[in-house]
Amino acid sequence: MELDTLDFTMSGQNGDIDEIKQLAEDWRSGWIAGDADALLALYADEPVLMPWGQPTVFGKDAIRPLYQSMFKEYAIKSEPTVMDVEVSGDLGYFWCTYAQTATPKAGGAPREEEGKAVFIVRREHGAWKIARLIDNSDRASPSI
């Protein structure tokens, strides 16, 4: 009986990991499509965004204009690699590395970036959602 319980727990956890991996893929798809609404739909009710080199952003209403502005100005190409996914109960995380190119829609040289990001996820309303997103560039900070 204990073995059956263990097998159920493990298969349930594997299902959660698969769902979180799908969340990561949905994130990538929304980013490449330049779809702020699709990205915001992946966030928890009260998300926190901690972008590299910028102040912390609290809530979807504050995140929305950041994404809309970026997608209005740039076409994004991104190649993330999910490095690890963990889950425990209704909390989990995944982290990834990425190479990204942002090409100005008005013309000009593309901006290339490499970095890593940690997504803390929470099960809300039966689905895995992004509760916290921490982004960090691999480039050195500009001199102050």
pLDDT in tens, 111-137: 999 999 999 999 999 999 999 999 999
> Which pLDDT score, from 0 to 100, does residue 139 have?
81
- The upper half-sphere exposure of residue 77, i.e. CA atoms within 13 Å in the direction of its Cβ, equals 7
Give the residue among 108, 119, 115, 123 at the shortest CA–CA distance from 25: 119
The answer to whether 36 and 66 are in contact (CB under 8 A) is no
Q: What is the rounded end-to-end Cα distance, in angstroms, of the chain?
A: 62
Share the mean pLDDT of the chain.
Answer: 89
> Which pLDDT score, from 0 to 100, does residue 142 have?
53
pLDDT in tens, 63-75: 999 999 999 999 9
Most distant pair of Cα atoms in the chain: their distance: 65
CA distances (Å), 21 to each of 38, 54, 78, 92, 136, in order?
A: 16, 27, 16, 11, 20
Could you tell me which residue, 52 or 4, shows the higher pLDDT? 52
pLDDT at 13 over 90: no
What are the structural domain ranges in the chain?
Answer: 2-137
> Which pLDDT score, from 0 to 100, does residue 52 have?
87
pLDDT at 2 over 80: no
Architecture in CATH of 2-137: Roll (3.10)
> Which pLDDT score, from 0 to 100, does residue 140 have?
64
CA distances (Å), 87 to each of 11, 17, 91, 123, in order?
A: 12, 7, 6, 10
The answer to whether 122 and 131 are in contact (CB under 8 A) is yes
State the DSSP code for 1.
-
